[in-house]
Copies of this chain bind each other. A is one copy, B any other.
């Protein structure tokens, strides 16, 4: 337990420093890091675990199983789970404040839902396999296609707009051994049925409220905003069809990672001229609405929409988060309008969240077209940032009462006391064996109990139990019937 709870100890910090370069790739929740470290350094922590876990008794029946989770995945032991639950609780609370409804789809989906030909990283790294019935299935890499499928399944009876959210685990498979993780969780909020940028503004306002509830502000986070329609206008100018915007964006998104000549090669394959490419590069250098209007001309749709978005953002009081940045294209093929991406101001981390408008995904799936906008917000980078800023709260295990017996003969009486308190809504840990007082006090500390309730023979004869107020270090005998009022 201690080893897993240790991200802030020098030991954990040291391990973290060693692995940071590797981990930066996908997920940098430093709590998770200690777990990843254990996975990726079997020669070190594996030995430790083995020493501890291996039976020294005769009842050992075989070799120790691998106690680490499947490569690239995380366990959430209680300490880690509490942190995750706190984070997910905030995802959920904010979604509900915005009137969104929660949904969930299976982690296993038909492969065809995710196969797109645009060369996206997400398609290339699909965690897919053939099931025993010969079907091609995949552990979902993202939630949006499943949302689209579920919306289509509802049919015409679904009242629009649908404002839905989900928190789900997403998977990817890579052969590389660089320690990159294969799963993370994502919070998605989506609005189906609203064509205007009021939808995008609402989504951005939800993110901003979430960040504020966590203790962050526009000092910490910048949201880069652009629109696929900027690229679309450029491509139109050079006679490239609108359909090419998605694939072009996927390629442009890789500019940071692959050589420019490779990018140009891929764009040429899509039929782009040298002039179109130069136009794109120029367009991705724009940082103000004025410049954008200048480039695209008066009355251009992309420019007007972004203007409107920034204006509504003023109303929400979130304008200081936003920054027009046309180099932000996002690597998913299905976006059609506004795209955005959250980054730490310090520029140390990968994208914290990203989203945009995808008005054609439903029709790509053969359904009726519906305007859609949404975002995905991962669980890893935000935790890394919160930890860096000291904003992760203390989340100890906590009960209210600890109940024990001094005499095993009274065990069923202790059971009665504990159950009554629980029915009254109190969280009660019950000592289930004969234990020394020293152990019990340690246990009271470990579970954060406020009261220790001792069922002892003499007191019980008089219809009483002994109650120790652990904070005040006071104790008194309390009538069993009065126990619930004595809180």
By the criterion CB–CB under 8 Å, are B106 and A198 in contact?
A: no
By the criterion CB–CB under 8 Å, are A312 and B422 in contact?
A: no
Q: Which residues of B contact A81 (CB under 8 A)?
A: 101-104
Question: Would you call A265 an interface residue if the criterion is a C-beta within 8 Å of the partner chain's C-beta atoms?
Answer: no
By the criterion CB–CB under 8 Å, are B419 and A366 in contact?
A: no
**Bound CA–CA A319/B364 (angstroms):** 59
By the criterion CB–CB under 8 Å, are B173 and A131 in contact?
A: yes
By the criterion CB–CB under 8 Å, are B152 and A65 in contact?
A: yes
Given that A74-B106, A209-B423 are contacting pairs, would A55 and B366 also be in contact in the complex, using a CB cutoff of 8 Å?
Answer: yes
* Interface residue tally for chain A (C-beta within 8 Å): 127
**Which one, B104, B155, B427, contacts A99 given CB within 8 A?**
B427
By the criterion CB–CB under 8 Å, are A426 and B97 in contact?
A: yes
**Bound CA–CA A99/B401 (angstroms):** 9
Given that A103-B81, A411-B198 are contacting pairs, would A364 and B62 also be in contact in the complex, using a CB cutoff of 8 Å?
Answer: yes
Question: Would you call A110 an interface residue if the criterion is a C-beta within 8 Å of the partner chain's C-beta atoms?
Answer: yes
By the criterion CB–CB under 8 Å, are A106 and B447 in contact?
A: no
Question: Would you call A430 an interface residue if the criterion is a C-beta within 8 Å of the partner chain's C-beta atoms?
Answer: yes
By the criterion CB–CB under 8 Å, are B429 and A163 in contact?
A: yes
Binds B, one of A199-207, A244-252, A293-301: A199-207
Q: Which residues of B contact A130 (CB under 8 A)?
A: 129
Per-position binary interface string of chain A over residues 44-86, scored 1 when its CB falls under 8 Å from any chain B CB and 0 otherwise:
0000110011111101111111111111011111100110110
Name the CB-closest residue of B to A112. Answer: B65
**Bound CA–CA A419/B107 (angstroms):** 33
By the criterion CB–CB under 8 Å, are B85 and A102 in contact?
A: yes
**Which one, B54, B198, B360, contacts A367 given CB within 8 A?**
B54
Question: Would you call A98 an interface residue if the criterion is a C-beta within 8 Å of the partner chain's C-beta atoms?
Answer: yes
Question: Would you call A268 an interface residue if the criterion is a C-beta within 8 Å of the partner chain's C-beta atoms?
Answer: no
Per-position binary interface string of chain A over residues 306-338, scored 1 when its CB falls under 8 Å from any chain B CB and 0 otherwise:
000001101111100000000000000000000
Name the CB-closest residue of B to A369. Answer: B59
**Which one, B85, B312, B367, contacts A64 given CB within 8 A?**
B367
Interface residues of A (CB under 8 A from B): 1-4, 48-49, 52-57, 59-71, 73-78, 81-82, 84-85, 96-99, 101-110, 112-113, 127, 129-133, 135, 137, 139, 149-150, 152-159, 161, 163-164, 169, 171, 173, 175, 183, 191, 194-196, 198-199, 201-202, 205, 209, 212, 311-312, 314-318, 360, 363-369, 397, 399, 411-416, 418-419, 422-423, 425-430, 432-433, 443, 446-447
Closest 8 A-B residue pairs measured CB to CB?
A315-B412, A52-B155, A99-B429, A64-B366, A315-B415, A78-B101, A67-B153, A73-B106
